[in-house]
Homo-oligomer: A and B are copies of this chain.
Amino acid sequence: MTNEFETLSAAFLPAVEAEMRSVLGADQRTSETADNVGRDDIFLGMIHYHMGWLDDQMQPVRSNSGKRIRPLLCLLTCSAAGGDWQQAVPAATAIEILHNFSLVHDDIQDASPTRRGRPTVWTLWGEPQAINTGDAMFALAHLALNRLTDRGVPSSIVVEAYRRFDETCVALTGGQYADMSFESRKQVGVDEYLKMITGKTAVLISLCCELGGLVADADEQAVHHLGRFGLDIGLAFQIHDDVLGIWGDESLTGKSAATDIVTRKKTLPVLYGLEKSSRLRALYQTEDNESNFVELAVRFLDEAGARKYAEERVKHYSDSALAHLKAAQPSDPAATALHQLSSMLLKRDH
């Protein structure tokens, strides 16, 4: 089977990258190799640094800038819904900038010193400037969306796209609120957790697919099913990631085994285990990690059936996602690419 996902990605990604550079003013830099970087250049330069286009001296660089899964989903759903993917490029760009805005603020909120192997914006320029850089990106994400008009998308659809975009932003901040609250709480229920990851992860994936459908002028039912496809894929992906955070193969995930146990992160398997196993609860009530803490925690989780539960949830959401995709009656080759992307996101060795 041809890998339609790779073929289409190769066409889509340069278009998204070009639009992002244009929206974020990376085209306007007087000279990318200038020795003297003016003060005004640093305002946008901090954004370009975060995007992986400049180093901390404001010099051009190539660095890992993420997989751009979200814009690809947007363009693929647009195409699968019978639309012209090029019309959806501004929406795909808006979502990717929104995602990156949230990372800049997340890094401050989590006090993370690095991201993708580089110092975070707040580490280099301080928290006040990093808050402001994120705010600028939030506004620029909206300006990206405005460019739908330039590609001939009717104003009424653009206004509807804005509404869904900002409702998603409110849900994202709601998810972030819950996530931060969980850290300081002893007990978090499985249902609360699912609600939190819905806001923090799944609604944005859902938005990608909804906007793709909207720009394609798909009917309301199809847009609904595409949105649910994204939501359920997002949930499946997050819970799959939770499983890898405990039982993932170190050589394949690139993270050390059971990271989420060491840091006592409240992920789905752990919350399920804490509900079911009094021994795990007792273990997690100890203040410091004993030398055999990880070993014991994983054993109690396995005994409580936490892995099986989480893997069943992944399968449940994944099946539901594909049922919704089918109901949207997507057309090829984008439909095939969406299936391939879904499998890629949920396979064991990433």
Q: Report which A residues bind B (CB closer than 8 A).
A: 39, 42-43, 105, 108-110, 127-129, 131-136, 138-140, 142-143, 145-146, 149, 154-156, 158-159, 162-163, 165-167, 169-170, 172-174, 176-178, 180-181
| Option from B159, B165, B181 in Cβ contact (under 8 Å) with A159 | B159
Interfacial chain B residues near A140, Cβ < 8 Å: 166, 170
| Option from B166, B174, B180 in Cβ contact (under 8 Å) with A128 | B180
The closest CB in chain B to the CB of A46 belongs to: B177
Determine if B142 and A173 form an interchain contact, defined as CB atoms under 8 angstroms apart.
no
| Option from B132, B133, B146, B155 in Cβ contact (under 8 Å) with A166 | B146
**A contact face: mostly helix, strand, loop, or mixed:** helix
Determine if B166 and A136 form an interchain contact, defined as CB atoms under 8 angstroms apart.
no
Q: List 12 contacting pairs A-B, 8 Å CB cutoff, sorted by A.
A: A43-B174, A105-B132, A109-B132, A132-B176, A135-B176, A136-B174, A136-B177, A140-B166, A140-B170, A142-B142, A149-B159, A154-B155
Q: Which of A39, A173, A174 has its CB near the most chain B CB atoms (within 10 A)? A: A173
Determine if A139 and B173 form an interchain contact, defined as CB atoms under 8 angstroms apart.
yes
CA distance A174 to B139 in the complex (A): 11
Determine if A173 and B132 form an interchain contact, defined as CB atoms under 8 angstroms apart.
yes
Determine if A128 and B143 form an interchain contact, defined as CB atoms under 8 angstroms apart.
no
Determine if A127 and B129 form an interchain contact, defined as CB atoms under 8 angstroms apart.
no
Determine if B142 and A166 form an interchain contact, defined as CB atoms under 8 angstroms apart.
yes
CA distance A176 to B128 in the complex (A): 10
Q: A43-B174, A108-B128, A155-B155 are in contact. List 20 more A-B contacts (CB 8 A).
A: A39-B178, A105-B132, A108-B131, A109-B132, A110-B128, A127-B127, A129-B177, A132-B176, A133-B173, A134-B135, A135-B169, A136-B173, A136-B174, A139-B169, A139-B173, A142-B142, A143-B167, A145-B162, A146-B166, A155-B158
